[in-house]
Structure 1
């Protein structure tokens, strides 16, 4: 017995701390609900301790969903057909959102959190239509990004004030951090984006923005034309003088604005060019969030995720929402990449789904997304069955394995 409580040693075939290399034949020493030591079985003799052998499994930290829209968790299938143009899909999403009541949105958020936790997710970056509320015992940490958009002065002002109120409303919930999300360049004018950056700085908060989703976005910003311009006119949202943006490189300027936030998440980044990738790489507080199965749903060209990683940019994984994805499982995003992107290092894929998302959302001091001493209780590890003796065999088991989220035996 340890002076502070019951001590248990858990052993497993593999342990993936993420913040250090995988351990073949490892142990976790747990006192009460906290991990206090991690290592290889060869590091010590624990025959006289209370030892629980987890068996032929790999132990991993809970997943991190760096970007999702929980309010669409009632979608049984994605909106539209695979390969739909982004501008057409957004119109359908606006129509779906317009008929949802505040109570329905809250129900969807609750359902999305429950689905996420059941799928092994311990940290969620949620884009929220304020006002939105979250349970205090959700079983996951949440960064709630108040969505701000509006091409008219009145709409922009109303959504920005809602974001300010959202920050205050979350203060009493220890499971939720405030974030702000100027929605996208096609829906949020430059002055409103800069106001959101200032709000993030005021609260020391993360900021998330959909950036470079498709070449059509670049056409709108540079030329004031194309499918996005047509969609805005058809919806009666076109405002003269907002497009094109001033300057010849609007996305380069946008990256500079976002870099002023304490933490900035560029969502999707499907159409980032080499000079823009280089610009992002200069700012360690910036991350890109890649949503693999949503990217696949739209039929976008091959994502430049490897270029981003090669440039030293932090890349996290998100699920977007059930409006563009069949579910909210980050583990299934990992399996999708293991199957469809053999060019990616499998350990880098795991890092994108865990540690990278945590650092993007909460900063490098966060304990989420990794297994290390000091782990907070609700971030209990997850497990994948594997009898592999070599690391390359583990990846094959990961590609087909079901995640077990029951936690460590005898622990909450």
Structure 2
């Protein structure tokens, strides 16, 4: 977005306050000035938005764009869903995957997303993200319960990281989906940030407890040779990490639904973490509880994500906001806004995106206002506007 000036009746500044009117100076895609009066000397294009409140674009803190072509799956229980998605992925072509990435980005852009934190498989071509209209931050998922399979995915992801022209990190998919040895290797060789599925449901906990479970049955059906090769026993995913002296500083913890007080005490000791909650996926699986209030009391940051469309009803970030605000109607807008913009990014070391502030990227969206009195929590559920063309959803 290379304008000289953007003039709007309202703007949300620093994710803390609303100014009216707002004059935003932009140079080379970076916000260089914010004022309430038009400067005497200007260069470049001036865009006037007579009926818009400007704000930073949303950050989708967790997604699997490559699964978009698979659509919502039928199973709503975790293990049957795993069985269904494993089969669906075997039938997915490379063309399906690339088309899904593009379609997923377009869907999210239409709901005001300008930054996507995406999880990618070892065989996803990084070229599929070239020229995307949003900022993409990829986390390559290391997974494989057989040693040779896991090592293969890890080596392939190292190549992807080298080839990527966008932000690309490598992280274990989850505690339960890689061998203990490879899990330790990845944490030893890859520096933070990480983005890891953690404590999503009771099946994960039962598996690590070495108790009978549907997930363990699924593992044995898939890999009979693992009968006597389980992870070290642990009370939970969080305690497993603690037992192995692994701390998830500067990282995203995806889901973190099934945690207790002991887990949260450990999590509180990890520096600069953010729990990513996916309301649509949470409802899809019918999880009993997300400890939002407990995390708030402990000062653990929260961000929102969509997850993939395979465990949701749609790929629409505003749908996630709507579900979340319906569940927590008492939440103040300026407490909510960082969950939609900066919380996840700051935990993974990104400090130039997610605010309408000097020095930040001008990844802005707007919402149409009919008068000077408006509720910003209601406003952000309206169709967003791209200040560049007054319509979100550009294609590439």
2:171 maps to which residue? 181
- 1:319 is displaced (CA, Å) by 0.7
- For 1:256 and 1:16, the matched residues in 2 are separated by 44
- Go from structure 1 to structure 2 and tell me whether the alpha carbon gap of 1:253 and 1:186 turns closer, same or farther (over 3 Å shift): closer
CA distance in 2, matches of 1:372, 1:37: 8
Shift of 1:28: 3.0
| CA positional deviation for 1:249 | 5.2
- Residues 221 and 388 of structure 1: CA distance in aligned 2, closer, same or farther (over 3 Å): farther
Distance in 2 separating the partners of 1:309 and 1:141: 28
Deviation digits for residues 91-131 of structure 1 (CA, Å, limit 9, x no counterpart): 11111111112332222222222333333222211111123
Distance (Å, rounded) in 2 between the aligned partners of 1:327 and 1:368:
25
Would the aligned equivalents of 2:70 and 2:88 in 1 still touch at CA under 8 Å? no
The answer to whether 1:369 aligns with 2:354 is yes
Match of 2:266 among 266, 279, 289: 279
For residue 206 of structure 1, report the CA deviation from its aligned partner: 2.4
Deviation at 1:6, TM superposition (A): 7.4
**1:157 Cα deviation from its structure 2 partner:** 1.5
The answer to whether the 8 Å contact 1:68/1:127 transfers is yes
Cα displacement string for residues 349-402 of structure 1 (whole angstroms, at most 9, x for unaligned residues): 2211111122234x1x521111111233xx4311122346556x3323334x11
Alignment of 1:206-355 (within 5 A): 206-236=193-223, 239-243=226-230, 245-248=232-235, 250-254=237-241, 260=247, 263-355=250-342
C-alpha separation in 2, matches of 1:62 and 1:281 = 29
Alignment match, 2:89: 97
Q: RMSD across aligned C-alpha pairs, in angstroms?
A: 2.7
Cα distance change of structure 1 residues 270 and 225 upon mapping to structure 2, 3 Å threshold: same
8 Å Cα contact 1:178-1:206 kept in structure 2: no
- Report SS of the residue matched to 1:158: helix
Q: Give 1:72 shift.
A: 0.9
Quick check: 1:10–1:28 contact (8 Å CA) kept in 2? yes
- How far did residue 241 of structure 1 move? 3.5
- Cα 1:7–1:182, aligned 2, differ >3 Å: closer, same or farther? closer
Partner of residue 404, structure 1? 385
Asked whether the 8 Å contact 2:220–2:227 carries over to 1, the reply is no
Which residue number corresponds to residue 132 of structure 2? 138
Q: What SS class does the counterpart of residue 20 from structure 2 fall into?
A: strand
Residue 238 of structure 1 and its aligned partner are, at CA, apart by 6.2
Report the secondary structure of 1:188's partner residue.
Answer: coil
The alignment partner of 2:106 has SS state of helix
Question: In the alignment, what sits opposite 2:32?
Answer: 36
- State the secondary structure of the residue aligned to 1:16: strand
Unaligned ranges ≥5, structure 1: none
What's the counterpart of residue 70 of structure 1? Answer: 65
Relative to structure 1, the CA distance from residue 164 to residue 244 in structure 2 (aligned partners, 3 Å threshold; closer, same or farther) is closer
Please report how far the alpha carbon of residue 292 of structure 1 lies from its aligned counterpart in structure 2 after TM superposition.
Answer: 0.8
SS in 1 for 2:59: strand
Aligned partners of 1:113 and 1:150: how far apart in 2? 27
Q: In 2, Cα distance between the equivalents of 1:216 and 1:305?
A: 21
| C-alpha displacement of 1:288 | 1.1
Counterpart of 2:20?
A: 25
| Conserved 8 A contact 2:303-2:344 | yes
The match for 1:151 among 145, 151, 154 is 145
CA drift of 1:258 comes to 8.9
Aligned residues, how many? Answer: 384
Deviates more, 1:89-98 or 1:258-267: 258-267
1:146 is paired with a residue whose SS is: strand
**C-alpha contact (below 8 Å) 2:251/2:272 kept by paired residues:** yes
Alpha-carbon shift at residue 334 of structure 1 (Å): 1.4
Partner residue in 2 for 1:16: 12
Gaps spanning 5+ residues in structure 2: where?
Answer: none
